[in-house]
Structure 1
Amino acid sequence: MQLDVTESEVRQLLSMQELIPAMERALAAFSAGRVVQPTRLMLPVTDHEGFLGVMPAYTGSALGVKLVTLYPQNKDLPTHHAVVILFRPETGEPLLSMDGTYITEARTAAVSAVATHYLAREDASVLALIGAGVQARSHLEALRLVRHFREVRVWSPRSAPEFARRHGVTAAASAEEAVRGADVVVTATTSRTPVLRGEWLSPGTHINAVGAPRPDWRELDDELLRRACIYVDSSEAAMRESGDVIAAGHFFAELGEVIAGSKPGRQSRDEITLFKSLGLAVEDVTAAELVYKKVRGQAAGG
């Protein structure tokens, strides 16, 4: 498919500094009911252990859809590939298409940064990354914009040493070693069974869990779910798609409600907070709208 905006162009046009506040506004609008967005359709591609997701949204100013594939077994290719198409809301005319791979990567981390801003302790200074792929990289960039970390640890079964060398952080020998004493933890894995245990967590830890997007997959063990106050991006999606939230059987609030002030964020210094991120179409469409405005601006100026 010929794209109007390639992945490299999206990377040049979309900055994390502007994406984080855009995601904050999008989440608040979603929780307030100002966004038209059904729960994503996930089509299994069973023969190849993959999925095709269809994610449409209308924000009032932007109308679009993301088509995304998830192939967790990919080794030499990304596990996610995506395309975002925007339409003119007034007429339905296609405006442009763009590669959605970086949009998915960046907006996920930007949303975790919003969650970290509202839910992590203000003096959080140790970050643990479980997973060493593109999401670990984007989360490292995004979370450093909302908290000052004096130490960053990373663990994955294969790639942690290389990731640590590339980004100037510390490779841990195990997930437990990475997590013990951490103030903020990110789980960004393709694991279908728990990789993070509640017994490893210190009082006051905040967790951003961005893996395990299927109802029968888990990243978090029962002890963690019992100890944590759980926040989600979408209540409907969380109870349908997240194996962790389904196992917990409850959550406290949507992140958008916290942003709007209708629900509280962290309520004590020792509280363990968990943000379970599944990813929303409104995030993709909002990010794509930022790119489109820059493309349009360049065309007008050129």
Structure 2
Amino acid sequence: MRILQLPEIRAVLEYPAIIERMRDALIAYSHGECDTPMPMHLAIAPANAEVHMKSSYRRGGRYFALKIAATFPGKGSSGMMLLSSADNGEPVAFLADSGHLTDVRTAAVAALVARELGRRDRVLGILGTGIQARLLAAIHAEIMELAGIVIWGRTPERAEDCRRDLQELLPDTEISVVADPAEVARRTRLIATATAARQPMLRAGDLQPGTHISAVGSDSPGKQELDADILRRASQLLADSRRQCEKLGELQHAPDQMGRVVEIGEFCLAPTLEDSAGITVCDFTGLGVEDLYIAEYCYERAQ
């Protein structure tokens, strides 16, 4: 069994290639080519922490994957992926990624959606100040020329830390911090939300016509970043998985809208933007098939 530590994993990551892998993964998922069980969630109450376990197998593929990712407040993310042979079940690779691959593939899917929607925005708004926020900025910058990034976070010190990090990473991009989420919506029409919020941070009245929101934070029951009226007023609703988002994503708060949800994999093959001036929302819960595809990518590249 090959053991890949985080430095080795980082060394093989190429964001444009990962975006394409995620596109392939989501198309395979929506085509029903993968066995991808619902995620398992484990709450570690004393630490106010959560652990997610996901898995997937692409029928006819060489491997299956199991991923464990944990988030402990104040201690960052941790996690691992195990890639095993579909022939005999033997593990072939242990990826000690500390949760990094989960963050990368999530940001890559958000960037993919922006690209598939044909977004040409010059300013990206981000709610959240963690590793996910930094990767959302970095990977969106791979697919569009960003003149500015607007950040909001609950803790001003963390928001400023995030701003400094992004300014160093993207020196030609103006990075600014604002005081509230509504100000982000006033400054840009391309927004990514990456928090663990359980109360809406954005409301329908905050948004400009033509705004797109990638909501990546809600991945378990009770989480919510967007007021449900945003989903009801949106002209287009996308989701990585209907069945997961209905239970775990923003759509758990607007189940009456499920009938018009289009999965990302479906949209990639048959894009249909119903109203260019309308609001579009993509709901992300994270799929085991994404973990399978990025684990395969790292293992192949490290050979």
TM-score (norm. length: structure 2): 0.90
Structure 1 unaligned blocks of 5 or more: 297-302
Alignment of 1:219-298 (within 5 A): 219-228=225-234, 229-242=236-249, 244-249=250-255, 250-251=257-258, 252-261=261-270, 264-296=271-303
Displacement of 1:173: 2.1
Tell me, in whole angstroms, the C-alpha distance in 2 between the residues paired with 1:166 and 1:69: 23
| Structure-1 residue corresponding to 2:166 | 167
Tell me, in whole angstroms, the C-alpha distance in 1 between the residues paired with 2:140 and 2:216: 14
| Structure-2 residue corresponding to 1:300 | none
Displacement of 1:102: 1.1
Tell me, in whole angstroms, the C-alpha distance in 2 between the residues paired with 1:70 and 1:161: 22
Q: What amino acid does structure 2 have at the position aligned with 1:41? A: M
| Structure-2 residue corresponding to 1:30 | 29
| Structure-2 residue corresponding to 1:196 | 202
Tell me, in whole angstroms, the C-alpha distance in 2 between the residues paired with 1:218 and 1:3: 39
| Structure-2 residue corresponding to 1:8 | 7
Large movers: runs of 4+ above 4 Å:
none
Identity of aligned residues (%): 28
Displacement of 1:234: 0.7
Alignment equivalent of 1:103, drawn from 96, 101, 109: 101
Checking the alignment, whether the CA contact within 8 Å between 2:218 and 2:284 is kept in structure 1 is: no
The yes-or-no answer on 1:137 pairing with 2:146 is: no
Tell me, in whole angstroms, the C-alpha distance in 2 between the residues paired with 1:85 and 1:163: 31
Tell me, in whole angstroms, the C-alpha distance in 2 between the residues paired with 1:51 and 1:163: 23
Q: What amino acid does structure 2 have at the position aligned with 1:278? A: T
Closer/same/farther in 2, CA of residues 90 and 140 from structure 1, 3 Å limit? same
Checking the alignment, whether the CA contact within 8 Å between 2:240 and 2:264 is kept in structure 1 is: yes
Displacement of 1:3: 8.3
- SS of the counterpart of 1:284? helix
TM-score (norm. length: structure 1): 0.90
| Structure-2 residue corresponding to 1:114 | 112
Checking the alignment, whether the CA contact within 8 Å between 2:182 and 2:206 is kept in structure 1 is: yes
Checking the alignment, whether the CA contact within 8 Å between 2:240 and 2:283 is kept in structure 1 is: yes
Checking the alignment, whether the CA contact within 8 Å between 2:121 and 2:146 is kept in structure 1 is: yes
Alignment equivalent of 1:84, drawn from 66, 81, 85: 81
Q: What amino acid does structure 1 have at the position aligned with 2:222? A: D
Structure 2 unaligned blocks of 5 or more: 168-174
Tell me, in whole angstroms, the C-alpha distance in 1 between the residues paired with 2:162 and 2:2: 30
Deviations 1:34-72 (A, max 9, x none): 11111111123333322332211112233111012233x
Tell me, in whole angstroms, the C-alpha distance in 1 between the residues paired with 2:239 and 2:221: 15
